[in-house]
Chains A and B, each alone.
Chain A
Amino acid sequence: MEALTIIRPESLSLSSEQVRALMPYFLVFGGIMLATLLAVVKGIKPKWPVFLLAVATAVVGVVASANLIPDATIGMFNGMMVSDSYSHFFNVIFMASAGITILASLRYLDREQLQHPEYYVLVLLSALGMMLMTSALDLIVIFIALEIMSLAVYVLVGFRRTDKKSNEAAMKYFILGSAASAILLYGAALLYGATQSTNIHEILKFTQAQPAGMTPLFTLGVWLVMIGFLFKVASVPFHMWMPDVYEGAPAPVTGFMTTGLKAAAFASFMRFFISMGYGTTLSATLQAHIHDILWVSAVLTMIVGNVIALTQTNLKRMLAYSSIAHSGYLLVGLLAGSGTPGGYSAVVFYLVAYAIMNLGAFIILTVISNREDTGLNLHDVSGLASRSPWLSFAMAVFLFSMAGIPPTAGFAAKYMLFYSAIQAHETPLVIISVLCSSISVYYYLRVLVYMYMREPVGSAPASRVSMWSALAVALMVAMTLQFGVVPARLVEVTKRAVASL
């Protein structure tokens, strides 16, 4: 085994540029450790110090990552990690969604008598896993980051420890999530067998060297890794866990999962997808197979997500199915990405828009729900507009955005996604997407009809909105409208991010 020389000692030390590029990770990690310490200091109540420190960490993470977006690409740790615009752009999304989730959770945790400081630490830890996942270039590092992210989220899903539903959701998520990670890892092992490396750039070089045929080992490895990713983004037929988990998890955690987890899974999936040479160096047969199967999966995901969402009366569950449907649109973008310049940037833009509107919607669900997340059925929101006009207005903005109605971010995102798919000659896929999208208008607007046009049932008092939640919702509304009206700046940034891949 003379191959030990591949690990050179000099590649283990960090240059000053690398330290600069790693700053967001160091700062967030430091914040997490400090928060953990604060949580166990004797003699102080940990609630406020940990909460404020967690918010500060998230803000620092956002600022530090945003500063690094224009920087050049820097490889790190013997090519295992990379710092490029793409990873830092997603870091901003993860830290922002973690920060917003933390802001929205304070009052919720008080109400549910769950005010444990671990909650904030786990949210940040999961966000750190996401950050590592998008900047990982090695399948093993992707696996480790995926587990850092998932393990924290398993605990968060089961955070309402005395509630059977929460436990059940955590258990289901844990079992299926671990199985998916194991499948991804087995794929990585087979790819290692086929190409002698787990580094996705080395795998790309391997496909470039052999344009004609792929060994069965390589094909199987690619498929197993893809199945692992498809599970994480909840595309049909690997979507069964999502509605149950979303319904059982505490509402702010569900919001965090729909935004952070989905964006992380897609970001890493996209990196793998491009790096394995789809659309460029991958052999034509394998590429055709991947295209056909993802095509079917995207169509089924959109149809199943939208059609089942029609029949849901629980808002959390409805949004879970709508989240599955949105995964379908994103898969359309992924398939079209290689066929047109700026194709992948449409996916990134969609992820941002989706994160904003979904986070906002879940904060509102958090605020209007009763104890133990009950009272989230359709008839519970009837007449909400007369009780809480501002909340209803914000919810309306988010629902319009999810349905893709201008002038919201959701419209701009869908427009760009479908436009890039048409340019990539995926017209049948776009027709199906648009039809599915028009189905979705029904169930999104039904909520609006209940909120604005029905009489209130009973005499529920207006929901009390904490200052922090109000701040978070206002921010989300402003961003939804801003990216809907003037998307140009965000488009520029997403293009720059994708160009660095």
Chain B
Amino acid sequence: MALSEFQVEPWLVLAFCSAIFFIGLAGLLIRRNILVILMCIELMLNAVNLTFVTFSKIHNHMGGQMSVFFIITVAAAESAVGLGLVIAMFRTVRSVDTDEIQLLKQ
């Protein structure tokens, strides 16, 4: 196993995944551009994918790797709907800035 010489510690990968996940979550809450927010959602989902794969490797169990395929599919559908909504919004509001959409009172 030549590959094992280059192995990364699993906890390091998991820490990396959680960092990406929370960067995504923070970006979703902080950023004002809807396209960036959509990217942050993708970031969160991909961090989850990486977590699944890492655990799959740790446990030597295939279930996690299969889950990733389903998550990728769902994420693609989600982006499609999200971008559709962005286009619909841009047609009426003429902006992709979340500060511009505050008609509904808090």
Within 8 A of A (CB), among B34-70: 34, 37, 41, 44-45, 47-48, 51-52, 54-55, 58-64, 67, 70
B31 to chain A, nearest CB (A): 11
Provide the bound-state CA to CA distance between A190 and B103, in Å.
38
Pairwise interchain contact B44-A1, C-beta atoms closer than 8 A: no
Q: How far is the CB of B69 from chain A (nearest CB, A)?
A: 10
Assembled-state Cα–Cα distance A140/B106 (Å) = 34
Does A165 interact with chain B (Cβ within 8 Å)?
A: yes
Judge whether A185 and B41 touch: CB under 8 Å. no
Interface of chain A, main secondary structure = helix
Contact of B62 among A6, A143, A165 (CB under 8 A): A6
For B62, list chain A residues within 8 Å (CB): 1, 3-4, 6-7
* Interface pair A154/B81, CB less than 8 Å apart: yes
The answer, yes or no, to whether B104 is at the interface (CB within 8 Å) is yes
Range of interface residues on A (Cβ < 8 Å)? 35 or more
- B63 & A192 in contact (Cβ 8 Å cutoff): yes
Pair B61/A189 contact, Cβ less than 8 Å: no
Residues of A within 8 Å of B67, CB to CB, are 140, 188, 192, 198
Contact flag A144-B41 (CB < 8 Å), given A6-B62, A158-B85: no
Contact across chains for B60 and A185 when beta carbons are under 8 A apart:
no
B51 touches A168 (CB 8 A): no
- In the assembled complex, which residues on chain B have CB atoms less than 8 Å from the CB atom of A165? 103-104
Q: Kindly state whether residue A164 has any CB partner on chain B within 8 Å.
A: yes
Q: Number of contacting residues on B, CB 8 A? A: 45
Query: Once the chains bind, are A167 and B61 in contact (CB under 8 Å)?
Result: no
One of B21, B37, B41, B102 near A186 (C-beta < 8 A):
B21
Q: Cβ of A377 < 8 Å from any Cβ of B? A: no
- How distant is the Cα of A14 from the Cα of B13 in the complex, in angstroms? 39
Which chain A residues in 146-186 approach chain B with CB under 8 Å?
A: 147, 151, 154-155, 158, 161-165, 167-172, 174-175, 178-179, 182-183, 185-186
Nearest B residue (CB) for A2: B60
Q: Which of A192-207 contact B (CB under 8 A)?
A: 192-193, 196-198
Do A186 and B88 contact each other (CB < 8 Å), given the known contacts A3-B62, A144-B70, A165-B103? no
The complex places the Cα of A236 from the Cα of B86 at a distance, in Å, of 28
Chain B nearest CB: distance from A137 CB in Å? Answer: 14
Residues of B within 8 A of A169 (CB): 104
**CA–CA, A154 to B79, complex, Å?**
12
Assess whether B48 is in contact with A186, with CB atoms less than 8 Å apart: yes
Give the docked Cα–Cα distance between A196 and B67 (Å). Answer: 13
**Does A244 lie at the interface of the complex (its beta carbon under 8 Å from any beta carbon of B)?**
yes
A247 at the interface (CB under 8 A from B): yes
Residues of chain A with a CB closer than 8 A to B60's CB = 1-3
Top 3 closest A-B pairs, CB basis?
A: A182-B44, A193-B55, A189-B51
Known: A167-B89, A174-B85. 8 other contacts (CB 8 A): A3-B62, A7-B62, A164-B101, A164-B103, A174-B82, A175-B28, A189-B55, A198-B63
Chain A residues engaging chain B, CB cutoff 8 angstroms: 1-4, 6-7, 140, 143-144, 147, 151, 154-155, 158, 161-165, 167-172, 174-175, 178-179, 182-183, 185-186, 188-190, 192-193, 196-198, 240, 243-244, 247-248
